[in-house]
Structure 1
């Protein structure tokens, strides 16, 4: 089945997380994604975290459906191959330090003249302009500068990090959104290609809700609140009698009344001062104590059954073991078996979003380094002798 992005060619000039994740999303929905890697070592992600037969399991996920071509971009012949690919591409995605693409002779001034309809997605720590543009920036730094770290963790503890590379992934999503908007403009004849400038810190900052106006108008500095959702009550994490924790969101007016009935406090359900969120926020500590007293006397299964019957949003906090064993994940095809080298089948995350007519699919897992070099070069019109010469010169692997 052709995906919704079939016919779109993407060239990935990225390593590790941000640009590769963006390119992966294109690949899952049918785009022809060609990943350019450095000969010899390839993307460092190939050796990150847990390895299977010397290759990262993360790599097999992050690079599924992509074609790998190993090119030395610092060589004239390698640069020429990259230019040939860019000339036929709809999108180029990179996450090099600002100025690096220009040093390679692959800057926007060169690429846009070669291919006026090209969209260039540039993901960096601080963006392509501004006083910080030349600083090194990783996702963790973007999470800190974007405001996320300051609001994450317990009030009496140092700022915590989310347990994944959330800053990189948020930048990837913004890069894909920007690229699709640019592609729509080009494909509908409204204009030519353009640069999509995405920074890690701005991608995080874009999700920080009313942080700025609260500070500007009221002087309020939002900080760490543990499992609670600040300014929205009641919404928190509560203990069960069997040592687990449940998230309960009873913060709409109607849901709050139902929640109070379940926990045996109909008096609070009918209390005028608690009828709206602003009143509940003023009594948040009291409400949390009431709910925690009820949950701590019951098992997780009983808590969830009672709250579900009352139509109160609640859920236990899932570990990865919970995820892979959950029937809803399975029914939604969010856990997919994937074949790895050595006749090994491993569970991998499925594809989202779900499209009714042109769903995404996994065609193959992450390729070996340079696995598709010949195929890609032949697609550019190069003959066997030309490819052999590029190998002899070290321009490709």
Structure 2
């Protein structure tokens, strides 16, 4: 339970001394989850002022201990730079939940919390005596976010589930391919992030419901369980996939960079790269065709609305590609922006870091880690005018806040 030897966490360089009020100030969250989905929900709450206490395991059998994300991908002095994104604004407490002492201590932390976030396999917390029934008997106002691969009920509930599988089961992976090619992943763990966002939304809904259930027995109101399945978070974003099948028996197929049934919307080659163009609004399509010198298509009555354009999408894409293919990306972007046609080049990390709009929107913020490395991390989303989010703490070292947090909890109440 060491608190670590590093200096106290300090605000990053962008923070000002006059911090505006934050929407979730005073909300206490215990985060038991690891890696991505649960911690992403915790990060979202922490960005808006919630006190998020991350409970991490100690080192076992010579391992590093803590959330495995601390060692994922590119590291500086043994700590992932990703850690600075996922765990900013959080506190770290080391407890061994495999021991009775650790479980008793975390239960006492939860006694004084508003929210518990966990993403263990269903049934794990119950085996430890930390299921919702036991915890809510001690703390009736507790809201418990439970993220798992397949949810807390149903025939698949006990299966292990990662985002890569959830994206496949949720329908996304099948569509993410060129026709006839092997489906590919997006390159980031979208299933986890979508589940984390749904979890954060669920917590806020449960907090609102709690406000309406205040009673003498539950002075803070009644909490509830927020059950988020990774595959369902993906499936919830699949637009018309299911209704098209149920109504017409249509099984949507991959279409590469195009958006089937909506035209034109695609990626197009330029002389020095590629651009993405969304010309699928009726008036936008006309402006696009005029901009590329195809007034004949702009005035063609068959192309005046989306259904007609879908029937002739190959012809339209060929016309756009013929025009973009002889021009540089910068020229295409300038011409189409001037015509009010949605267009953009395909950004790399370098493009993002150098973009003036990202900078103007404060989406590139600096954090100096405990080991002295200054990195840029994504800014706060969404933007609130009166109670904006902020980064007030760097990501903690393992167990950095153990002593300070445990010193303030109530004496053991017993199980």
TM-score normalized with structure 2 length: 0.90
2:225 match: 195
1:347 match: 376
2:279 equivalent to 1:250: yes
Work out the CA distance in 2 between the residues paired with 1:141 and 1:343. 37
Q: C-alpha root-mean-square deviation of aligned residues, in Å?
A: 1.1
- Displacement, 1:213? 1.1
- Displacement, 1:342? 3.8
Work out the CA distance in 2 between the residues paired with 1:58 and 1:308. 34
- Is the partner of 2:206 in helix, strand or coil? helix
2:306 equivalent to 1:277: yes
CA contact 1:87–1:111 (8 Å) conserved in 2: yes
1:262-286 CA deviation, whole Å, 9 max, x = no partner? 1111111111111110000000011
2:390 equivalent to 1:361: yes
Return the match for 2:181 from 157, 164, 186. 157
Return the match for 2:344 from 306, 315, 323. 315
- Displacement, 1:381? 4.3
- Is the partner of 1:237 in helix, strand or coil? strand
1:98-156 CA deviation, whole Å, 9 max, x = no partner? 00010111001101101111100000000000000000000011000000000001112
Q: Which has the higher contact order (CA 8 A, sep 6+)?
A: 2
- Is the partner of 2:209 in helix, strand or coil? helix
2:270 equivalent to 1:240: yes
Work out the CA distance in 2 between the residues paired with 1:336 and 1:59. 15
Return the match for 1:78 from 96, 99, 102. 102
CA contact 1:152–1:223 (8 Å) conserved in 2: no
1:265 match: 294
CA contact 2:29–2:50 (8 Å) conserved in 1: yes
Work out the CA distance in 2 between the residues paired with 1:363 and 1:209. 37
TM-score normalized with structure 1 length: 0.94
The answer to which of 197-206 and 65-74 deviates more is 65-74
- Displacement, 1:187? 2.5
Work out the CA distance in 1 between the residues paired with 2:98 and 2:137. 21
2:35 equivalent to 1:6: no
1:17 match: 36
- Displacement, 1:341? 3.0
Return the match for 2:55 from 12, 32, 36. 36
- Displacement, 1:3? 1.1
Work out the CA distance in 2 between the residues paired with 1:342 and 1:141. 35
1:171 match: 195
- Displacement, 1:343? 3.0
- Is the partner of 1:281 in helix, strand or coil? helix
CA contact 2:84–2:377 (8 Å) conserved in 1: no
Structure 1 unaligned segments of length 5 or more: list them.
Answer: 387-397
1:395 match: none
- Is the partner of 1:33 in helix, strand or coil? strand
1:1-44 CA deviation, whole Å, 9 max, x = no partner? 33100010000011100001100111111001000110111111
- Displacement, 1:78? 1.1
Q: Which structure has the highest helix share of the two? A: 1
1:58 match: 82
Work out the CA distance in 2 between the residues paired with 1:156 and 1:366. 44
CA contact 2:108–2:410 (8 Å) conserved in 1: no
Work out the CA distance in 2 between the residues paired with 1:171 and 1:377. 30
1:348-376 CA deviation, whole Å, 9 max, x = no partner? 11111011111111112211111100011
Work out the CA distance in 2 between the residues paired with 1:168 and 1:247. 26
- Is the partner of 2:407 in helix, strand or coil? helix
- Displacement, 1:188? 3.8
2:250 equivalent to 1:220: yes
Work out the CA distance in 1 between the residues paired with 2:117 and 2:370. 28
1:391 match: none
CA contact 1:153–1:226 (8 Å) conserved in 2: yes
- Is the partner of 2:234 in helix, strand or coil? helix
